[in-house]
Amino acid sequence: MTISRAAASRPVSAVYSRGFASVPSGTETYNKLYPEKSSDGVLRLGNIAPDFAADTTQGRMESFHSWLGDSWGILFSHPADFTPVCTTEIGRVALKYDWLMEHDCKIATLSVDPVDSHDAWLKDVVAHCENNIDIKFPIIADPDRSISVAYNMFDPGNLDDEGLPLTIRAVFIIDPEKKIKLILNYPASVGRNMDEICRCVEALQLSAKSSVATPANWPNNHESIGMKGSVFLLPTVTDEDAKAHFPKHKTCQVPSGKEYLRLVDKSEL
């Protein structure tokens, strides 16, 4: 198994302007606040996701970056096969697969077990899920933990510990430029909520496309002022660009007098 941190060298993806006029001080400016490279080897938001080659339940993946192509992607790790929480999570991922494909977002899951273990375990996953499901996404084998180490799922100093430690439950949402846009870490004892992960995908894509930020509890926000599902302009958007590209935006008045809560109805995007 090989690991490479080389970034995909191609122009800025059309996803940042697709279907919406480019805002000079918007998404592209905002993204520059997050460095592409880590100075200490710890992955952070904005960093290029490490590339790797690995065996999967759908055959050899020679390059994770190439497999992603121009799509958004999710790398979804689980501690081990034949564990109860992981079994339910893979089932829930399967139920969201079509939604993710509709939103141009590929998903791959990862476990430290080999492919033959994955294949046997998936029979249990399908049998246990209360819905009829097909596992249409690859499960990556990481028996030497090299991918897990590259993605900071545990300390490489523990690699030689007896029993080989389990990885955390990690979620990485990656944009078409191979940049990490969101990281979620859960302990092995807590299962993840796929509705929330899908909400995050939708919010990140909307932000990238339209230079906006989603408020807390979006899209169930600001209903009391008749703007349910509205979004904020990114902090980097200048007043000039706000007037030019979002002429109907509403600035919320607050005691500080600062005009930073600039709401836009989603229907205006």
Please name the residue that has the structure tokens 């299962």: 191
How far CA 133 is from CA of 57, 82, 211, 238, 246, in Å, comes to 16, 18, 36, 47, 43
Per the rule left: phi > 0, alpha: psi between -120 and 50, beta: everything else, 195 is alpha
Distance CA 133, CA 147 (A): 28
Task: Report the percentage of the chain scoring pLDDT > 90.
Answer: 71
Tens digits of pLDDT across the chain (269 residues): 444 433 333 333 444 434 344 899 999 898 988 989 988 888 999 999 999 999 999 999 999 999 999 999 999 999 889 999 999 999 999 999 999 999 999 999 999 899 999 999 999 999 998 878 999 999 999 998 899 989 998 756 555 555 555 667 899 999 999 999 999 999 888 999 999 999 999 999 999 999 999 999 999 999 999 999 999 999 999 999 999 999 999 999 999 999 999 999 988 88
Give the pLDDT confidence of 13-58 residue by residue, as tens digits. Answer: 444 434 344 899 999 898 988 989 988 888 999 999 999 999 999 9
Tokens of 40: 């200490």
Give the pLDDT confidence of 95-117 residue by residue, as tens digits. Answer: 999 999 999 999 999 998 999 99
Closest CA to 231 of 255, 202, 197: 202
Distance CA 122, CA 113 (A): 12
pTM of the predicted model, to two decimals? 0.88
